[in-house]
Chains A and B, each alone.
Chain A
Amino acid sequence: MIPLSWYMALAVLLFSIGVCGFLTRRNVIIMFLSLELMLNGVNLNLVALSYYMDSVRGQAFTFFIITVAAAEAAIGLGIAISLYRSRRSVHVDSLNQLKG
């Protein structure tokens, strides 16, 4: 049987890769993918904990997170499209109208 700490280490790793990707990449779509990676780290954490503690709440929570992530994707990609229409780019460097 695989110990719990391995799952949690993988979850932390996934989450950290997501954070690094979010902070270093300049493309809105890649940043969005990094966000999903972070959420999946959380999901893995919850499911592993739920299995080892024999409590279903963690798994229920995971379902909610997956559902919300889908809704978030719909809105995020919609905003990305409207951004592309006005700027012809989804690069973060083109987001320069608002500053100060």
Chain B
Amino acid sequence: MTTAAIQWTAMAPILPELFLVGVAVMLIGFDLFLPRQRQLLPWMTVVGALAALGMVLGAQPGEGFGGMFVIDGYATIFKIICLGAVIITTLMSEHFLRIINLRQGEYYSLLVLSLVGMLLMASAGDLMVLYLGLELMALPIYALVGLHKKDGRTSEAAIKYFLMGGFASALLLFGLSLFYGLSGTTNIAAISELLSSGDLVASPVFLAALGLIIAGFSFKVAAAPFHLWTPDVYEGAPTLVTAFMSVGPKAAGFAIFGRVVFLGFADLQPHWAPVLAFMAILTMGIGNITALSQTSLKRMLAYSSVAHAGYALLGLLAGTAEGMAATMTYLVVYLFMNLGAFAILMALAQPGRRCESLEDCKGLATRSPLAAALMLIFLFSLTGIPPTGGFIGKFYLLKSAFMAGYSLTVVAAVIFSAISAYFYLRVVRYMYMDDPQESTPVVLVPGMKAALYLCALGVLGLGFFPGSLLQWTLSALSGM
């Protein structure tokens, strides 16, 4: 009889994830046993995430658990995006949670657990890890969406998100089980070696499997025609959770999308790229055109986040390292500009009033010149006006798609981008040219200010020094 001893050294690759699980457990214990020290919770979350960020940056490239867990440049960049999303969201949390009267310790714990899921997704080298990471990310977010039970809309948003997310996971799983049947293994690298030879391209089973996983991934990144849950869920969830959902899970979704489709089936690019090109046009079209008719600023930002998933697909469908680097760069810029715009929306909220409509930002420039100026930067970046990061990100995406020969898609992207200027800049007009509806000043608490400055710094910094981030993502991709 052999004794199975745990080899602790084998755990080294997942050290940041294990550490964050510890932080999540500690947060909920702290909330339970030391309820008076509750104001420390956000700071513990930020410090924990920063420590994990340090570990992720210092990790040696390699594999763990027999290739199930991969640490490479690709994973590291997506991990940094997800960690950044959690850090900035946490900085904004305390003020907003007080406004909507939701001060619960499990909020931070669920946020950190969802982060662990996202980190696992970024590092997934095996279909099992991919699925487990996906569910570990999604389950805490279902709970986060429905956490604010006093607001009647949240349970509706939570059940819609839960049912749609579960359906997407089931579709994805069926596709994964077919890939297992075709290749006899669940390791993504081995599957790509076995299936990329091109003999299977005409096989209906292979096409069904590829279609099912693309459908599942598209649900997660909210790409049309699988975006139908997005506006309702984003509008119904507390704004804070919406801000987090529109950035973190989307980036993690792109991480697994790219891992399977771009890194796994790179040789089959001529077969899947036209499908993605069609989906990208549809996503940008639906997102931008529907956003035109919204009266709620939050719902408008929800449709805009659908549209931005379409832009990010442009880099993925190019199938080149430059394209993938452009998508990753865009997701970094998107992290800053989208969280920034949602942060201003949160700063507008008052106790007992949601203040989510376009009317509520009328005359913001007189109520708070600083908030209006920051919102101006984020909206310019979302539109893609230089010298902001949004322009640079979009430029690289369009360039890589154009180089890959998808000129029609690029033309459509430029047209839809021009259309988007109408609804983004309408907010600017309301802020600067209309009289305020109310005279209460907009208060920016220190945490919110820190988050806003960080976002503005990211948007402008990436706009003024565009090359460095792209070079970094490219070198991370080529170092694999």
Contacts and interface: CB of A to CB of B under 8 A. Distances in A.
A100 B299 contact: yes
Contacts of A38: 167, 170, 174
A64 B132 contact: yes
Contacts of A100: 231, 235, 294, 296, 299
Most chain B CB atoms below 10 A, which of A35, A71, A75: A75
Contact of B132 (A68, A80, A83): A68
Contacts of A79: 142-143, 146, 155, 158-159, 162
Contact of A57 (B142, B156, B180): B180
A98 B232 contact: yes
Contacts of A18: 170
A42 B299 CA distance: 35
Nearest to A54: B184
Contacts of B159: 28, 79-80, 83, 95
Contacts of A31: 163
B455 interface: no
Contact of B180 (A49, A75, A82): A49
Interface residues of A, number: 42
Question: Chain A: interface secondary structure?
Answer: helix
A38 B173 CA distance: 9
Contacts, number: 121
Nearest to B156: A95
A49 B181 contact: yes
Most chain B CB atoms below 10 A, which of A15, A31, A98: A98
Interface in B132-181: 132, 135, 139, 142-143, 146, 149, 152-153, 155-160, 162-163, 166-167, 170, 173-174, 177-178, 180-181
Most chain A CB atoms below 10 A, which of B132, B139, B146, B177: B177
Given A39-B173, A64-B132, A98-B235, A55 B139 contact: no
B152 A65 contact: no
A76 B166 contact: yes
A80 B178 CA distance: 32
Interface in A47-98: 49, 53, 55, 57-58, 60-61, 64-65, 68, 71-72, 75-76, 78-80, 82-83, 85-87, 95, 97-98
A30 to B, nearest CB: 11
A5 to B, nearest CB: 11
B170 A35 contact: yes
B153 A98 contact: yes
B186 interface: yes
A88 B158 CA distance: 16
Contact of B177 (A32, A42, A53, A72): A42
B186 to A, nearest CB: 5
A72 B139 contact: yes
A39 B170 CA distance: 6
Contacts of B167: 22, 35, 38
B131 A82 contact: no
A82 B158 contact: yes
A95 B160 contact: yes
A45 B178 CA distance: 8
A61 B174 contact: no
Most chain A CB atoms below 10 A, which of B127, B181, B236, B294: B181
Interface string B399-416: 000000000000000000
Contacts of A85: 149, 155
Contacts of B156: 83, 87, 95, 97-98
Contacts of B173: 39, 42, 65
B185 interface: yes
Interface string B267-292: 00000000000000000000000000
B177 A45 contact: yes
Nearest to B234: A98
Given A32-B163, A95-B159, A46 B153 contact: no
A13 to B, nearest CB: 12
B263 interface: no
Given A68-B135, A98-B235, 9 more contacts: A38-B170, A39-B173, A41-B174, A42-B177, A53-B181, A58-B186, A61-B186, A64-B132, A97-B236
29 contacts: A8-B181, A15-B174, A22-B163, A38-B167, A38-B170, A42-B170, A45-B178, A49-B180, A49-B181, A57-B128, A57-B186, A61-B128, A61-B186, A64-B132, A68-B131, A71-B135, A71-B139, A72-B166, A75-B162, A78-B143, A79-B142, A79-B155, A79-B159, A79-B162, A83-B159, A86-B155, A87-B152, A95-B156, A98-B235
List the 9 closest A-B pairs by CB distance, nearest first: A38-B170, A98-B232, A83-B155, A45-B177, A49-B181, A42-B173, A82-B155, A35-B166, A68-B135
